[in-house]
Chain A
Amino acid sequence: MAQTNRLALGGDIDRTKPVNFTFNGHHMQGYAGDTLASALIANGVRIVGRSFKYHRPRGIMAAGTEEANALVQLETGARTLANQQATRVELYEGLSATSINCWPSPDFDLMSINSWFHRLMPAGFYYKTFMWPVSGWKYYEHIIRRAAGLGKSPVEPDPDQYDHMHVHCDVLVVGGGASGISAALAAGRTGARVILVDESKDFGGQLLNEQYTINNKSASRWIEDALAELSTMEDVTVLKRTTAFGYYDHNYAGLLETRTDILTDGGDKTRQRLWHVRTKRCVLATGALERPLIFSDNDRPGVMLASAVRTYIQRYGVKPGNKAVIFTNNDDAYRTALALKEAAVKVAAIIDTRPVPDGELPTQAIAAGIEIIDNATITGVNGGRGVKSVEVMSLNAAADGVMGVARTILCDLVASSGGWNPVIHLHSHSGGKAKFDQARGIFIASETLQASECIGAANGDFLLGDCLNEGFRAGKEAASKAGFKKASRRKIPIAEHIVEHPLRLIWALPSTKSIGERGKHFLDLQHDVTAADVQLAAREGYASVEHTKRYTTLGMATDQGKTGNIPGMAVLAQALGVDNPGDVGTTTFRPPYTPVTLGAFAGRNVGVLTDPVRMTPMHHWHELAACKWEDVGQWKRPWYYPKQGESMQDAVNRECLAARNAVGILDASTLGKIDIQGPDAAEFLNRIYTNAWSKLAIGKCRYGLMLKEDGMIFDDGVTTRLGENHYLMTTTTSNAASVLGWLEEWLQTEWPDLKVYCNSVTEAWATLSICGPNARALLSEFTDDIDLTPDALPFMGMKEGTVGGIPARVFRISFTGECSFEINVPASYGLALWTQLMVAGEKYGITPYGTETMHVLRAEKGYIIVGQETDGTVMPQDLGMDWILSKKKDFIGRRSFTRPDSQRTERKKLVGLLPVNPNDILEEGGQVVAEKGDHRPIPMIGHVTSSYYSANLGRSFALAMISNGTERIGDRVYVPMDGKTITCEVTAPIFFDSEGTRLHG
């Protein structure tokens, strides 16, 4: 395909550098400097995709971020990018793009049959149709999703790198057009730290698309000089291809910088960079976006924004059509007529909705011999696959209907302009309000919550001279408010501009029949929302623009309604009989301004860097032993150690038997350890824990329960008194950080009078827990200064000394019900001691066991795990732990025991469950019911909290929380599971050594 629509001259492209690309498999050529959109236009491509709902053919309608139709899937495989606007994709060698939302091709699309059924698909169609019956959605959904699908996400991991930058600055200037460049210059000259960003590859904004002079030289020369000056300023950062996608509280902005295109191997360069900017002041010079006129069938390929047509001709040297009609309500679009004329493209007529267009630009157009049809509108666009002609009629006096005879004008391009909307998105992101300016027909920024200001076109000042003035004033003022008051004698640049006459606001232009009856007046091209849809929503009672938006999906597509929102609000206001569109409210713009890839948000935090991994000192040994891992919070804990050919159950059975019959060893280093010191430490523990601590002797340990003020269990663990004013608290692995926070909170906020200091020492110690009948014999080989006999070191005792020559604390505490020693040594000795114990323990049958075996052994003893048996609604009484509740003192949560809810007799209580068939293993989380049967509903009386097969018991068993459970001991209950219902007997929650002889042995 040749570049049939490329102009011989003009444009900021390099005709000596051809660039090859493919579109829907067709090989094409553009030039360096093209966007994908301008290259497609050059190659005569008119239909680039299909619309979302009706699958109508669509063409390129804009030249920038406001493009609603030309979405493409860029590249394939791992680097594919969905829903890219062709107008924002810079052309590069080898680019490959395909249309989305059409099948099999944009030229012939099977789903376009939807167009014929449009009367059956009104606003709220999905809500009205597919929500009944409720169960039907799962059948409809996948069909609808396929029919409506936009682009596809890659399924492979992203091969590219992304990174983040965190910076502070004095003045952030968003937008590198005339206003933004002026502001950056003025601010930079004061010595302030300035960041200037623009989303395009070139600075200049609208100046790039027009032919202005500034200070008697061309605008491009002025831009060049300004950038050269900025580059000499040490504290000024200028970022191109960088979008300020969000502006947040306290002057925090998110910028996305594109650094390489997709196919270039950037080497060390990251593909994109996310900038986190905290600025003192922000100047929003984000410009304006042209809005289309809303007329019948305004979505045909070939209907474009007037400014876009001008941009394609003047910046890219391509003509989007051969015979144009300009349709406008303002003077600015006349520039497009003049530009077309200069590029030798025929202009059939300018249709102006205003009765007497007599400004300077219309006068120029008349002088150029262009026909102007005033007080008129387009009532229809002919040509489903591309504009062939338009019907034009005169407006009646009220401008709500047409009169006279329709005139058909042959053309293949309609350049439409309904005025310009200031881009106040960033202002709105950060909580700024907007007000409607009736005279100019625009929403402009009113109150802001940030240290920011919208200037230039973003504030509705569209004339070049005003933009330059405002930019200089705002830049200087922002720097001054940030503390940089250095004066500059440089003069504000002078530019000539043509004064324009006011526009005429008619939001939905009438046709020969009422709106919706003939053709479609599209507001939101990407989501196929029409003026008739918004009017229907108003008739159905939607009065708020926020509700209407959600009901009709107006402005909810990937372009977020950059062209459609404002006309949509105006149409709603009209339908509701409200004069001022500002009175129906404005929708709040939300970040991101343009889509941001997830890779950019993730930055370097991918793969192994996603989350920190915490490893115990013995990690390497476990790894060599080929254990299976369990993730507990950020910790890696050995789950079980399978031997050759063993299943998980085989390994756990072996480990369980060894721990009870020989000696087992567990890496318990992950348990939280908090060092607590101070003269009031005992009093503090009295208040934090449910039991009494004042009389605990030095060298003794005690189990404690921590509650929240509502009386529910929060954590448990053993605390040991190491000295007069010195305790070591242990917590559950996953709660270690929250327990430390909890202690600090009470000490700082409620009891600042207590002299107590807490410090996390979790990672300072390695904890090796050995248990079983041979544990004492093994350990006695390693120590001669600690008397391990039961009298000298009884259950819940602690001794300090040396183990294997290493300074150690040995605790007689047990989570398995066996005689057990927890050896704490400084973390760096952990691996050495573990290795020695394994060697010496061989003759005793030492067996390392993991968390699964630990869970089974503790459940056999009925020991709870916080977070497994408890879930934030469980009180100590529910677990039969009344024994641990002191009656002589107050503690956190105690008062809540007498709350009415705590007194309910039907509260769930901890019990044991024995399946009648000893080989049935219940599912944890399974619901317990009291009766068997098919009648519904069956009242649920509780749930299974822990369930295992026990090699020591030779059968399955479980723990459960069951309503009024203690009263049900001996009863039968039922647990319905997938496929069958398991019958169980309710027992006391202890299954092994209920007298505790082994524990104390």
Chain B
Amino acid sequence: MLLIPCPWCGERDEPEFHHGGEAHIKRPLEPDQSTDEEWAEYIFMRTNPKGVFLERWVHQSGCRRWFNLARNTATNEIIGAYKMGEKPPISTIANKQKTATVSNKKPKGVK
């Protein structure tokens, strides 16, 4: 069970939260001007990386605030939480990603 650092309440157990999918998906400002492809990209297409992922969470059974989380999907390591509208902790993520690529190497012999 994850221990999630809510930027408002501090660390709380995962059942208090609800996952909100990939973060930083921008709604087109002028939906009518977007092509079918652009609109489909916005409503349907999401990335699914092995490694650091920026995702949205809401502290549903707590303060009910939305926030973003940088989490490594392969290890569940939480790199940091940041409030809506804030920039992701890029430098920390870059450091973590370096170590993540090393540890995610497949053991030899595994097909």
Where the two chains meet, the residues of A that have a C-beta atom closer than 8 Å to any C-beta of B are 248-252, 278, 431, 433, 435, 447, 449, 543-544, 578, 580, 582-585, 709-710, 741, 744-745, 748-750, 752, 890, 894-896, 898-900
Q: How many residues of B contact A (CB 8 A)?
A: 35
Contact assessment for B40 and A741 in the assembled complex, using a CB-CB cutoff below 8 Å = no
The complex places the Cα of A986 from the Cα of B2 at a distance, in Å, of: 53
Where the two chains meet, the residues of B that have a C-beta atom closer than 8 Å to any C-beta of A are 1-3, 13, 18, 20, 27-28, 31-32, 34, 36, 39-40, 42-44, 56, 58, 60, 64-66, 75-78, 84-85, 103, 107-111
Contact assessment for A748 and B65 in the assembled complex, using a CB-CB cutoff below 8 Å = yes
Contact assessment for A741 and B76 in the assembled complex, using a CB-CB cutoff below 8 Å = no
Name the residue on A nearest B78 (C-beta): A250
Name the residue on A nearest B60 (C-beta): A741
The complex places the Cα of A433 from the Cα of B74 at a distance, in Å, of: 13
Secondary structure call for the B interface: loop
**Chain B residues with CB under 8 A of A752:** 84-85
**Which 6 pairs, one residue from A and one from B, show the smallest C-beta to C-beta distance?**
A583-B109, A895-B31, A250-B3, A748-B66, A249-B76, A585-B110
Name the residue on A nearest B109 (C-beta): A583
**A249 CB → nearest B CB, Å:** 5
Residue from A447, A543, A580 within 8 A of B103 (CB atoms) = A447
Contact assessment for B3 and A278 in the assembled complex, using a CB-CB cutoff below 8 Å = yes
Contact assessment for B109 and A250 in the assembled complex, using a CB-CB cutoff below 8 Å = no
The complex places the Cα of A752 from the Cα of B28 at a distance, in Å, of: 16
Q: With A449-B77, A748-B65 known to touch, is A896 a contact of B84 (CB < 8 Å)?
A: no
**A826 CB → nearest B CB, Å:** 25
Residue from A580, A582, A750 within 8 A of B27 (CB atoms) = A750
Residue from B13, B36, B43, B84 within 8 A of A749 (CB atoms) = B84
Name the residue on A nearest B108 (C-beta): A583
What are 10 A-B pairs with beta-carbon distances under 8 A? A431-B76, A435-B107, A543-B111, A585-B107, A585-B109, A745-B58, A752-B84, A890-B31, A890-B32, A895-B32
Contact assessment for B36 and A252 in the assembled complex, using a CB-CB cutoff below 8 Å = no
The complex places the Cα of A580 from the Cα of B108 at a distance, in Å, of: 11
The complex places the Cα of A479 from the Cα of B28 at a distance, in Å, of: 52
The complex places the Cα of A698 from the Cα of B101 at a distance, in Å, of: 60
**Chain A residues with CB under 8 A of B108:** 583
**B16 CB → nearest A CB, Å:** 13
The complex places the Cα of A585 from the Cα of B110 at a distance, in Å, of: 6
**Chain B residues with CB under 8 A of A899:** 36, 39-40
**Chain B residues with CB under 8 A of A580:** 109
**Chain B residues with CB under 8 A of A251:** 3
The complex places the Cα of A896 from the Cα of B3 at a distance, in Å, of: 37
The complex places the Cα of A571 from the Cα of B44 at a distance, in Å, of: 47
Contact assessment for B76 and A250 in the assembled complex, using a CB-CB cutoff below 8 Å = yes
Q: With A449-B75, A745-B58, A895-B32 known to touch, is A544 a contact of B111 (CB < 8 Å)?
A: yes
Contact assessment for B43 and A745 in the assembled complex, using a CB-CB cutoff below 8 Å = no
**Chain B residues with CB under 8 A of A433:** 107
Other 5 A-B pairs with CB < 8 A, given A710-B44, A895-B31: A249-B2, A433-B107, A741-B60, A748-B84, A749-B84
The complex places the Cα of A745 from the Cα of B107 at a distance, in Å, of: 42
Residue from B1, B20, B103, B109 within 8 A of A745 (CB atoms) = B20
**Chain A residues with CB under 8 A of B36:** 898-900
**Chain A residues with CB under 8 A of B76:** 249-250, 431, 449
Contact assessment for A582 and B109 in the assembled complex, using a CB-CB cutoff below 8 Å = yes
**Chain B residues with CB under 8 A of A749:** 56, 66, 84
Q: With A431-B75, A750-B27 known to touch, is A895 a contact of B103 (CB < 8 Å)?
A: no
**B11 CB → nearest A CB, Å:** 9
The complex places the Cα of A129 from the Cα of B107 at a distance, in Å, of: 35
The complex places the Cα of A236 from the Cα of B45 at a distance, in Å, of: 51
**Chain A residues with CB under 8 A of B13:** 278
The complex places the Cα of A899 from the Cα of B108 at a distance, in Å, of: 47
Contact assessment for B3 and A744 in the assembled complex, using a CB-CB cutoff below 8 Å = no
Name the residue on A nearest B34 (C-beta): A895
Contact assessment for A744 and B77 in the assembled complex, using a CB-CB cutoff below 8 Å = no
The complex places the Cα of A895 from the Cα of B84 at a distance, in Å, of: 25
**B99 CB → nearest A CB, Å:** 11
**A195 CB → nearest B CB, Å:** 17
Contact assessment for B66 and A252 in the assembled complex, using a CB-CB cutoff below 8 Å = no
Name the residue on B nearest A708 (C-beta): B43
The complex places the Cα of A749 from the Cα of B13 at a distance, in Å, of: 23
**A577 CB → nearest B CB, Å:** 12
Q: With A741-B60, A744-B64, A745-B20 known to touch, is A578 a contact of B3 (CB < 8 Å)?
A: no
Contact assessment for B43 and A896 in the assembled complex, using a CB-CB cutoff below 8 Å = yes
**Chain B residues with CB under 8 A of A895:** 28, 31-32, 34, 39
Name the residue on A nearest B29 (C-beta): A890
Contact assessment for B66 and A894 in the assembled complex, using a CB-CB cutoff below 8 Å = no
**Chain B residues with CB under 8 A of A710:** 43-44
**A926 CB → nearest B CB, Å:** 32
**Chain A residues with CB under 8 A of B43:** 709-710, 896
Contact assessment for A578 and B109 in the assembled complex, using a CB-CB cutoff below 8 Å = yes
**A446 CB → nearest B CB, Å:** 9
Contact assessment for A745 and B110 in the assembled complex, using a CB-CB cutoff below 8 Å = no
Q: With A741-B60, A748-B66, A752-B84 known to touch, is A896 a contact of B39 (CB < 8 Å)?
A: yes
Contact assessment for A252 and B1 in the assembled complex, using a CB-CB cutoff below 8 Å = yes
**Chain B residues with CB under 8 A of A544:** 110-111
The complex places the Cα of A248 from the Cα of B42 at a distance, in Å, of: 34
**B87 CB → nearest A CB, Å:** 15
**Chain B residues with CB under 8 A of A748:** 65-66, 84
The complex places the Cα of A895 from the Cα of B110 at a distance, in Å, of: 47
**A553 CB → nearest B CB, Å:** 21
The complex places the Cα of A744 from the Cα of B43 at a distance, in Å, of: 19
Name the residue on A nearest B110 (C-beta): A585
Name the residue on B nearest A547 (C-beta): B111
The complex places the Cα of A900 from the Cα of B40 at a distance, in Å, of: 11
**Chain B residues with CB under 8 A of A900:** 36
Name the residue on B nearest A737 (C-beta): B60
Report which residue of B18, B78, B111 has the largest number of chain A beta carbons within 10 angstroms of its beta carbon: B111
**B61 CB → nearest A CB, Å:** 11
The complex places the Cα of A251 from the Cα of B85 at a distance, in Å, of: 31
**A426 CB → nearest B CB, Å:** 15
The complex places the Cα of A248 from the Cα of B31 at a distance, in Å, of: 43
**Chain A residues with CB under 8 A of B60:** 741
Report which residue of B44, B56, B107 has the largest number of chain A beta carbons within 10 angstroms of its beta carbon: B107
The complex places the Cα of A578 from the Cα of B36 at a distance, in Å, of: 53
The complex places the Cα of A431 from the Cα of B109 at a distance, in Å, of: 19
**Chain B residues with CB under 8 A of A584:** 109-110
**Chain A residues with CB under 8 A of B111:** 543-544
**B10 CB → nearest A CB, Å:** 13
Report which residue of B1, B3, B18, B32 has the largest number of chain A beta carbons within 10 angstroms of its beta carbon: B1
Name the residue on B nearest A580 (C-beta): B109
Name the residue on B nearest A433 (C-beta): B107
The complex places the Cα of A752 from the Cα of B85 at a distance, in Å, of: 9
Name the residue on A nearest B67 (C-beta): A748
**Chain B residues with CB under 8 A of A248:** 1
Q: With A449-B76, A750-B27 known to touch, is A745 a contact of B66 (CB < 8 Å)?
A: yes
The complex places the Cα of A748 from the Cα of B111 at a distance, in Å, of: 45
The complex places the Cα of A180 from the Cα of B73 at a distance, in Å, of: 32
**Chain A residues with CB under 8 A of B40:** 899
**Chain A residues with CB under 8 A of B3:** 249-252, 278
Contact assessment for A582 and B107 in the assembled complex, using a CB-CB cutoff below 8 Å = yes
**A868 CB → nearest B CB, Å:** 25
**Chain B residues with CB under 8 A of A709:** 27, 42-43
**Chain A residues with CB under 8 A of B2:** 249-250
**A435 CB → nearest B CB, Å:** 8
**Chain A residues with CB under 8 A of B44:** 710
**Chain A residues with CB under 8 A of B66:** 744-745, 748-749
The complex places the Cα of A252 from the Cα of B78 at a distance, in Å, of: 15
**A444 CB → nearest B CB, Å:** 14
The complex places the Cα of A755 from the Cα of B100 at a distance, in Å, of: 42
The complex places the Cα of A115 from the Cα of B94 at a distance, in Å, of: 60
The complex places the Cα of A435 from the Cα of B60 at a distance, in Å, of: 41
The complex places the Cα of A585 from the Cα of B106 at a distance, in Å, of: 10
**B9 CB → nearest A CB, Å:** 15
